[in-house]
Chain A
Amino acid sequence: MTQRKAIPAETKLRLFSEASGHCQNPDCLEPLFPVELGGAKHIAEMAHVVPHGEAGPRREDRPNDSFDPDVFENLILLCPTCHTKIDKDPASFPRNILLDWKENHLANLATKQGIRAYVNRCIAREAIAGFMAENKAIWNRFAPEHGTDFNYDPESEVAKGWSKRMRSVILPNNYRIQAIIRANLGLATEDERRIFAEFQEHVRGLAERHVCNVSGRAIRFPKAMEDMFL
């Protein structure tokens, strides 16, 4: 039996980057770094659009003998459920469908996350309100100095919980909020644009702190963000 060669790291990185951390099936789009795993581990599976061997799903779509199945163009990033589904029922998920999913992934994801230009401030507000409320609820419970569950206890599980929630919920929510506001900056007042700029700096600092472990550079959350588009 011949051994498959490993998929190059560059290809994997490109695939993860283009998938933006979500299953590329437009009917799924579930996070590949689930909250339950603390945002540190992923469940992503790299699926071949056309297979390695002669017996795999969608084998009839193989272009020619010299085709390299491990190239970026022939891979799609899916959650385990969707990977199983497309390989168990290749007739329902032919090559062109999978390539279409991949082609339109970012647009599909943006639509699901409410990232689009709206006709008025009220709808733009609704699009960000849920994410902001979720972040605030987590902050109120776990905030690193003033949260209701916070204690100066080095053995506390709350500190670990805060760190996990920051990476798996607060930061992703902040990126969505940023993307929605950016798409709707035309609806913002001059003051709101300034506040949004501060918010972006705040998020940069959070990412430095919680992803890159660089402390002391984040500015505080601008309180006026709570009234954005109100």
Chain B
Amino acid sequence: MLALLDKEPNISAQHVEGELIRLEAENQPGVLAVISAAHKIDIATAVSYRGKYPKMDFLCGYRKSCIWPGDTIEILQEARIGWGSAATLTSAVLEGKANIASHKTYFFWDRLLRQYWSVQKVIREYDRIYQITLKTGTVLRIGMIADYEPTADAVRSLWDEFGSVDIVLNINPNGNPSAEAVNAGAELGCKVIKWEELKNYLKTA
């Protein structure tokens, strides 16, 4: 991870102790970040890191596969500790917003769902799994896939890992799910769609 950050020309990184590193960017406050290799960062893990490194500004799950349950996200945000991927950490250090940053893959989507006019209540179960209640009373479970072109396997893996969803949302603005991914969703009983399609769906659901 240090080697990765060293490639970023505008950031300098130093090992402090254990999993804690200190990051500096020009004209920005220094950041103490915990770099975790965990595949899942649950409350116990987060609390343990906090006990060990009480001054941490940011908790980074550097693995691409790292999963963040919603309750962990909540306690980190309440404690003003940023959370997310290595890319989130890099951007946050450069912008001087490490302790309020949240996973950049899901940041815009979290805001969109919470601000959408027909959505009444949002429960974030995991970083990528939401349960939303619409003003009409309809409850929907939405799973997000960030891949450029989600495959049938990606849709099935989401179900295996997080259980059934009503909608699989492909959140990469450049990509589209393959026809096989859409078919896999139909077989499982969910829609595999993009934001524009979801907006239309939310209007009538």
**Which A residues have a C-beta under 8 Å from some C-beta of B?**
144-145, 150-156, 158-159, 162-163, 209, 213-217
Contact = CB atoms under 8 A, between A and B. Distances in A.
Interface string B105-146: 111110010000000000000000000000000000000001
9 contacts: A144-B148, A152-B106, A152-B108, A152-B171, A154-B108, A154-B171, A159-B173, A162-B174, A216-B178
A69 B27 CA distance: 70
A155 B112 CA distance: 10
Given A159-B173, A216-B149, A151 B104 contact: yes
B177 interface: yes
Given A216-B179, A216-B180, A156 B149 contact: no
B176 interface: yes
Contact of A144 (B106, B175, B194): B175
- Looking at B104, B174, B179, B195, which has the most chain A CB atoms within 10 Å of its CB? B174
B173 A153 contact: yes
Nearest to B105: A152
Interface of B: 104-109, 112, 146, 148-149, 151, 171-181, 194-195
Nearest to B194: A154
Contact of B173 (A152, A213, A216): A152
A154 B149 contact: no
A159 B108 contact: no
A152 B107 contact: yes
Contacts of A214: 179
A164 to B, nearest CB: 12
A153 B151 CA distance: 21
Contact of A150 (B108, B171, B174, B179): B174
Given A145-B148, A152-B109, A215 B178 contact: yes
B85 to A, nearest CB: 11
Contacts of B106: 152
Contacts of B172: 144-145, 152
Given A215-B178, A216-B177, 17 more contacts: A144-B148, A144-B175, A151-B108, A152-B105, A152-B106, A152-B171, A153-B108, A154-B108, A154-B109, A154-B171, A154-B195, A155-B108, A159-B174, A213-B176, A215-B149, A215-B176, A216-B151
Contacts of A217: 178
A216 B174 contact: no
Contacts of B178: 215-217
